C-alpha cells in the first residue's frame, strides 16, 4: 500500500516494470484514490514523464446478474508506459504510445481548448436572443460539436438557476413537464429590467408555440385520442385502450382521464366491452355490418391470445426455464427489452435472413443461455423452444430452420446453411409423438429423439422434469403438467415449483390453494371457449 502524499512515486513504481498499464491496474496496485491516480497520470503525461496510447481502447465487459441474465457494457480506457529519454512516441505491444499534445486529448480534454458543450449552448442562446428554441432544436443545431439532447437540459438548468435563460414547459398543478420536442428555451436579456426581460421571454416562447395545436397537455391528449379512434374506424378496425395509452406515452391514470373526457366531449366516439372485460373504441361512422364483423374478428383474437392454451403454453416455458436454471451449473440467461411491456425479457427475438414457416423477418425463441464448461473450453450457447402438446418432426424441423436461418445463430457452410459451432437447440415439449419415425436417405427409420440428436438438438419431456420431482420426494400427483394448468402465469409457476421443491409433503395442499386462488381465471377461459359468435 502506498503511503499518503506519494501518489506520483506510487504511480511511477507501478510503471517501472516496463509493461503497459491501464488506469484500473494502477489504481489496484497503488491502493490510492480514484481522483488522485487519475490526476497524477494526467500530470505525468503532460509533463513528459510517461507516454499514453494515441487512441482510446475499448473493452467489452459481460456482467452476470444472477437470475436477471447477462448484461454487456463497453469500457473505454488508455494504457500508460514510462517515457524513454529522447523518444516522444513508440509502438509497443501493438499500440502506438505518444507524448502529450492537444490533438491527442479526449473529447472532455479538448473542451478546454475548443470550448465546452456548455459554452457552445450558452453562446448559441445569446447569439439568437430574439428567438426561442426547443431543446431538441438546440441539440440539432450544435450536433457538429458533439452536443446531445441530454447535454442541453443538464446545462440549461444551471443557466436557469443563474438567471441567464427562461425555460418553459407544460404548466401543471405540481410543476411543468416538457413538450414533445423538449422544453422551450430562450435568452434573458441582462441589460434591461428583470420584469421586462421576463415579459419578452414569455412573448417569444408564446410565439414559438403559436403553431402548435395546444399549450395544454390534456387537450392535446384528448385530440390525439379522437384522431386514433377515427383513424382505426376508417380502416374498419377497433382500437384497444392499451393501444391508445401507448400512443399517448403517459401514465395509465392520465390515459384513463383523456379517454373519459374524449367520450364526454365527442358523442360520436363509442366504447364497447368484449367478453365484459376488454375495452375497445370506435367512431359512429363505422357501419353496423362492419362493426359486427370487426367485433367477431376481435373476439377470435382474444380467444387465441387470452385463452387457456395460451396461458398454459407460457407456463410451460417457465417450467423448462426453472429446471434448466436449477440443474445447469453456470447457466447465464440472455435478456432482451421488448416493446410489449408484458413480454418476458428472457424471450429472445431473432432476425431471419430467410423466411421460416410464414415468419418473414423475425422469430422468437423462448430462452437463450450460455454455459462455459471450463477455462480452456469454448462457451456453449443453448437455444430453447417450448411447445405444449404433442410434438412431431415438423415442429423440430421448424425450430432447426429458425436457428440456421437466423442472423444470430446461423452460418453458411459448404454443405449449406447450418447452426454455428457451439450452438445447441433444445426443444421442450409436454410429449413427443412416440409412433413417429423419420426415414433417412438410406431408407433406414429412426425415432424422433435419435433424429433430433443427429441435428445437434436435445429433447426435453415433461416426464424428464417429473422424474426430478420424484427424486426430490414429491408425490406422483404433483406433476409439471398440473402446475402448468393451475398457475396463473409464468411468475406463478416459479413460485409454485419453489414451494413444492422446498416442502414436498405439502405439494397437494399447495396445488389446491393455487387452484382456488385462480378459479376466476379458469371460469373466464371456459367462457371464452364456449362463447360462439
Q: What is the CATH number of the domain that holds 229?
A: 1.10.10
Same domain, 59 and 190: no
Asked, for residue 32, whether it belongs to a domain, the answer is yes
Same domain, 38 and 71: yes
Give the number of other CB atoms < 10 A from CB of residue 332.
18
User: In 3-state terms, what secondary structure has residue 81?
Assistant: strand
Structural domain that includes position 201: 115-209
Instruction: Determine which helix (DSSP H) or strand (DSSP E) holds 274, and give its type and residue range.
Output: strand 269-274
Assess whether 140 and 120 both reside in one domain: yes
* pLDDT recorded at residue 430: 79
With 0.85 as the threshold, say if the pTM is over it: no
The span from the CA of 248 to the CA of 229, in Å, is 13
Q: For cell 501518489, what's the residue? A: 7
Question: Which residues in 493-529 are b (16+ Cβ under 10 Å) and which e?
Answer: bbebbebbbeebeebeebbeebeeebeebeebbeebe
Q: Are residues 130 and 181 in the same domain?
A: yes
Q: What is the grid cell recorded at 189?
A: 436579456
Distance CA 95, CA 277 (A): 64
Distance, in Å, from the CA atom of 2 to the CA atom of 37, rounded to the nearest integer, reads 12
Q: Which of 189, 209, 229 is the last residue of a domain?
A: 209
pLDDT value of position 281: 94
Distance CA 183, CA 231 (A): 29
DSSP H/E element including 75: strand 70-77
Could you give the 3-state DSSP secondary structure of residue 211? coil
CATH code where residue 172 lies = 1.10.10.10
- Secondary structure class of 241 (helix, strand, coil): helix
Q: Judge residue 411's burial from the number of C-beta atoms within 10 Å of its C-beta, 0-12 exposed, 13-18 middle, 19 or more buried.
A: exposed
pLDDT 10s digit of each residue in the chain, 533 long? 445 457 888 888 888 877 888 988 898 888 888 888 888 888 898 888 899 998 888 887 776 666 656 666 777 889 999 888 888 888 888 888 998 887 777 655 444 444 578 888 999 998 898 999 999 999 999 888 888 888 898 899 999 988 999 998 766 545 677 777 888 899 998 888 888 888 898 888 888 876 555 556 777 788 889 888 988 888 888 998 888 887 887 777 788 888 988 888 788 899 998 866 678 999 988 888 889 888 888 877 776 656 677 788 888 888 988 998 888 888 888 988 876 656 778 889 999 998 888 788 888 898 999 988 777 778 899 999 988 877 888 888 899 999 999 999 999 988 889 999 889 999 888 777 777 888 877 778 888 888 888 888 888 888 899 999 999 999 988 999 999 888 888 888 999 999 999 999 999 899 999 888 888 777 766 765 555 43
The CATH number covering residue 353 comes to: 3.40.1350.10
Asked if the structure places residue 531 within a domain, the reply is no
Q: Give me 402's grid cell.
A: 429458425
46 and 160 both lie in a single domain: no
Closest CA to 424 of 370, 464, 474: 370
Q: Which of 260, 276, 303 is the C-terminal boundary of a domain?
A: 303
What is the model's pLDDT at position 113? Answer: 42
86 and 121 belong to one structural domain: no
Q: What is the torsional sign of CA 51, 54, 58, 59?
A: negative
Residues 146 and 257 in one domain: no
Q: Do residues 147 and 260 share a domain?
A: no
Number of domains in the chain: 4
Amino acid at each position: 500500500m502506498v503511503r499518503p502524499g506519494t501518489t506520483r512515486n506510487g504511480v511511477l513504481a507501478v510503471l517501472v516494470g516496463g509493461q503497459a498499464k491501464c488506469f484500473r491496474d494502477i489504481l489496484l496496485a497503488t491502493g490510492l484514490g480514484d481522483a488522485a491516480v487519475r490526476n497524477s497520470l494526467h500530470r505525468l503525461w503532460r509533463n513528459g514523464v510517461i507516454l499514453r496510447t494515441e487512441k482510446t481502447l475499448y473493452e467489452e465487459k459481460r456482467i452476470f446478474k444472477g437470475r436477471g441474465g447477462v448484461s454487456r457494457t463497453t469500457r473505454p480506457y488508455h494504457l500508460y508506459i514510462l517515457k524513454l529519454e529522447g523518444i516522444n512516441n513508440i509502438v509497443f505491444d501493438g499500440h502506438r504510445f505518444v507524448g502529450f499534445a492537444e490533438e491527442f486529448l479526449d473529447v472532455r480534454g479538448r473542451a478546454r481548448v475548443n470550448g465546452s458543450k456548455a459554452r457552445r449552448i450558452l453562446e448559441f442562446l445569446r447569439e439568437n436572443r430574439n428567438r426561442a428554441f426547443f431543446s431538441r432544436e438546440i441539440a440539432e443545431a450544435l450536433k457538429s460539436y458533439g452536443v446531445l439532447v441530454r447535454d442541453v437540459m443538464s446545462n440549461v438548468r444551471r443557466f436557469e438557476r443563474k438567471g441567464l435563460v427562461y425555460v418553459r414547459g407544460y404548466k401543471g398543478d405540481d410543476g411543468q413537464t416538457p413538450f414533445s420536442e423538449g422544453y422551450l428555451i430562450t435568452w434573458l436579456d441582462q441589460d434591461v429590467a428583470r420584469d421586462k426581460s421576463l415579459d419578452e421571454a414569455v412573448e417569444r416562447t408564446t410565439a414559438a408555440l403559436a403553431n402548435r395545436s395546444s399549450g395544454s397537455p390534456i387537450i392535446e391528449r384528448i385530440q390525439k385520442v379522437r384522431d386514433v379512434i377515427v383513424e382505426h374506424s376508417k380502416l374498419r378496425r377497433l382500437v384497444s385502450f392499451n393501444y391508445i395509452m401507448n400512443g399517448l406515452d403517459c401514465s395509465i391514470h392520465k390515459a384513463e382521464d383523456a379517454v373519459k373526457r374524449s367520450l364526454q366531449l365527442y358523442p360520436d366516439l363509442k366504447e364497447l366491452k368484449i367478453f365484459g372485460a376488454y375495452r375497445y373504441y370506435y367512431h359512429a361512422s363505422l357501419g353496423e355490418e362492419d362493426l359486427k364483423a370487426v367485433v367477431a374478428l376481435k373476439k377470435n383474437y382474444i380467444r387465441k391470445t387470452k385463452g387457456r392454451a395460451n396461458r398454459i403454453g407460457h407456463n410451460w416455458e417457465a417450467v423448462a426455464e426453472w429446471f434448466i436454471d436449477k440443474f445447469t451449473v453456470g447457466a447465464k440467461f440472455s435478456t432482451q427489452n421488448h416493446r410489449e411491456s408484458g413480454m418476458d425479457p428472457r424471450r429472445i427475438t431473432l432476425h431471419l435472413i430467410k423466411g421460416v414457416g410464414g415468419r418473414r423477418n423475425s422469430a422468437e425463441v423462448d430462452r437463450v443461455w450460455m454455459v462455459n464448461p471450463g477455462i480452456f473450453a469454448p462457451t456453449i450457447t443453448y437455444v430453447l423452444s417450448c411447445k405444449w402438446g404433442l410434438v412431431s418432426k415438423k415442429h423440430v424441423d421448424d425450430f432447426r430452420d429458425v436457428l440456421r436461418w437466423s442472423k444470430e445463430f446461423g452460418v453458411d457452410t459448404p454443405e449449406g446453411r447450418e447452426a454455428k459451432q457451439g450452438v445447441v437447440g433444445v426443444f421442450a415439449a409436454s410429449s413427443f409423438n412416440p409412433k413417429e419415425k423419420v426415414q433417412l436417405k438410406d431408407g433406414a427409420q429412426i425415432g424422433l429423439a435419435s433424429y433430433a440428436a443427429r441435428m445437434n438438438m436435445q429433447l426435453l419431456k415433461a416426464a424428464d422434469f417429473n422424474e426430478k420431482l420424484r427424486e426430490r420426494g414429491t408425490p406422483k400427483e404433483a406433476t409439471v403438467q398440473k402446475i402448468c394448468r393451475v398457475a396463473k402465469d409464468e411468475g406463478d409457476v416459479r413460485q409454485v415449483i419453489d414451494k413444492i421443491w422446498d416442502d414436498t409433503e405439502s405439494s397437494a395442499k399447495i396445488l389446491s390453494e393455487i387452484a382456488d386462488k385462480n378459479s376466476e381465471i379458469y371460469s373466464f377461459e371456459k367462457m371464452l371457449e364456449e362463447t360462439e359468435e
